[in-house]
Homo-oligomer: A and B are copies of this chain.
Amino acid sequence: MKKKFEKKELINKSKDLSDWYTDVILKAELADYAPIRGCMVFRPYGFAIWENMQRILDSMIKEMGVSNAYFPLLIPYSLLKKEKEHIKGFSPELAVVTHGGGKKISEPLVIRPTSETIIYAMYSKWIKSFRDLPLRINQWCNIVRWEKRCYLFLRTMEFLWQEGHTCHRTHREAKEEVERVMRMYEDFYKDFLAIPGFLGRKSVSEKFAGACDTSAYEILTPNGKVLQACSAHDLGQNFSKPFKISFQDRDGKTKYVWQTCWGLSTRSIGGLIMVHGDDQGLVLPPKIAPVQVIIIPIFGKGKDFNQKILSFSNQIKKEIEKKGVRVKFDGRTQYSPGWKFNEWEIKGVPLRIEIGKDEISGKFLTLVRRDILNERLKIKNEKLKVKVQELLDKIQDNLYKKAKKFLREHTHEVSNYQKFKKIMRQTKGFISAFWCEDPKCEAKIKEETKATIRCLPKKAIEEKGKCLYCLKRANRKWIFAQAY
């Protein structure tokens, strides 16, 4: 009977990243295609990753003193077009409601492609005095941007995110908010998703529609292309003026507020899958893994024997659970242990505990780390609780180090455009190079190499150099890469 269940075969990650990516998402049951063009379904295992990310990031956001709220999904078109750059940027991506309650409605409503306009219409009502500032609100919600094709997690018509929107008395305070938020995002990516990256400021052509300045965290995928992992925007007074968000300051004068907005979406799950996964499937960092430890029984012959395995497994499970570890026992009898190993490897569970004849009679347990599959660890029973947490920490750490090493190996300092072009044709990755900050050079480089300017790293210093492209004077090294 067990033969009926064939092992799930997976496409090799190294052979074709894109095919592997879709394959592993479907086989690990993270997500599925919806019967609507461009849309996906978050299946329970995939959604549990988002829930873990939400729980962590939400507490970081609250720790900063920002409160959650919820604003309407539907935005009147007249409101959306109040800020000119903003509507220009989002126009091609809008989903428009024209009928409601069986009738054509007088003014079309747009499904939020982002919520600046609807939120700021409320802010203008709520803010009156300097005492109402800073106003710092976040919302977790769904967003719709028209897409014809669906690239699971990375590009979908509907996605989930958090969007923070803050108002400040001064431009300095708003800029500090952007920096504080980006530090939070960087910590979140490094400490929880185990993903290193470049944090920095965008070039003018790459900034958010309506912003003065955009900061972003850029991460590297195994094929050398990069993803913008999240971003924060200094909106200046670009929105506060058309939306009339003004306050009476201490000096009695009426002034416009200075604003920021910032977001991180379910796209980050796509990055997570790509960065850590391997030929065997997902590899999830313990801190966000829905299941951190999987216990697999090796049943044998005889009811008594199997009963022993069961009760021993349960005991182990309870012990680990008490430590706050997310542990699951796979007692299904229709599958062989080998089939289950494979299944939970595809699902990327960080740690596996095997419980069979040797384990119930001896004093040792057998553990296998998802990040080092060929190593079987023997752990003394009484040390299990401590060891499990220790191993989870080690795995988390190891994943970050591996990703950091890959990033380092794929980041080049380049001053020669020929070399730049060669790298962008071959291994790709990040390139740090002088740029004169003329959009024309930026456009030419993009046209000739597909590489765009990802950011000016936070740590960039003033230097003297020559623009990679035009050889004119340049003062800072920017980060280039091909975007996903």
Q: Which residues of B are found within 8 Å of A94, using beta-carbon distances?
A: 99-102
Q: Which residues of B are found within 8 Å of A184, using beta-carbon distances?
A: none
Residues A68 and B41 in contact, CB atoms below 8 Å apart: no
In Å, the complex CA distance between A361 and B44 comes to 57
Residues B122 and A34 in contact, CB atoms below 8 Å apart: yes
Residues B35 and A79 in contact, CB atoms below 8 Å apart: yes
Residues B32 and A122 in contact, CB atoms below 8 Å apart: yes
Partner of A74, one of B95, B98, B101, B125: B95
**Any B CB within 8 A of the CB of A334:** yes
**Any B CB within 8 A of the CB of A36:** yes
Q: Which residues of B are found within 8 Å of A74, using beta-carbon distances?
A: 36, 39, 95, 144, 157-158
Q: A residues 32-70 with Cβ under 8 Å of B? A: 32, 34-36, 39-44, 47-48, 50-51, 67-70
Q: Which residues of B are found within 8 Å of A97, using beta-carbon distances?
A: 95-98, 111
Q: A41-B122, A73-B73, A97-B98 are in contact. List 6 more A-B contacts (CB 8 A).
A: A34-B122, A35-B79, A35-B118, A73-B111, A92-B102, A95-B109
**Provided the pairs A72-B34, A74-B158 are in contact, do residues A96 and B95 lie with their beta carbons within 8 angstroms?**
no
In Å, the complex CA distance between A278 and B448 comes to 70
In Å, the complex CA distance between A109 and B118 comes to 23
Q: Which residues of B are found within 8 Å of A96, using beta-carbon distances?
A: 97-100
In Å, the complex CA distance between A109 and B38 comes to 13
Chain A interface size, as a band, is 35 or more
In Å, the complex CA distance between A384 and B98 comes to 59
Closest-CB distance, A164 to chain B (whole angstroms) = 12
**Any B CB within 8 A of the CB of A483:** no
Residue of B nearest to A67 (CB): B44
**Provided the pairs A79-B35, A97-B95, A101-B146 are in contact, do residues A43 and B72 lie with their beta carbons within 8 angstroms?**
no
Q: Which residues of B are found within 8 Å of A68, using beta-carbon distances?
A: 44, 47-48, 51
In Å, the complex CA distance between A73 and B95 comes to 12
**Any B CB within 8 A of the CB of A91:** yes
Residues B144 and A73 in contact, CB atoms below 8 Å apart: yes
Closest-CB distance, A483 to chain B (whole angstroms) = 21
Partner of A92, one of B32, B44, B93, B101: B101
Residues B102 and A72 in contact, CB atoms below 8 Å apart: no
In the A-B complex, the 4 residue pairs with the smallest Cβ-Cβ separation, listed nearest first, are A101-B146, A44-B67, A42-B70, A96-B99
**Any B CB within 8 A of the CB of A444:** no
Q: Which residues of B are found within 8 Å of A73, using beta-carbon distances?
A: 73, 111, 142, 144, 158
**Any B CB within 8 A of the CB of A17:** no
Chain A binding surface, main DSSP class = mixed
In Å, the complex CA distance between A252 and B122 comes to 59
Closest-CB distance, A173 to chain B (whole angstroms) = 19
29 residue pairs from A and B, CB less than 8 Å apart: A32-B122, A34-B71, A34-B72, A35-B79, A35-B118, A35-B122, A36-B72, A36-B74, A36-B76, A36-B118, A42-B70, A42-B71, A48-B67, A51-B68, A70-B160, A73-B73, A73-B158, A74-B95, A74-B144, A91-B102, A92-B102, A94-B100, A95-B97, A95-B99, A96-B97, A97-B98, A98-B99, A99-B108, A111-B111
Residue of B nearest to A51 (CB): B68
Residues B148 and A101 in contact, CB atoms below 8 Å apart: yes
Q: Which residues of B are found within 8 Å of A32, using beta-carbon distances?
A: 122, 125-126
**Any B CB within 8 A of the CB of A360:** no
Closest-CB distance, A41 to chain B (whole angstroms) = 5
Q: Which residues of B are found within 8 Å of A36, using beta-carbon distances?
A: 72, 74-76, 109, 118
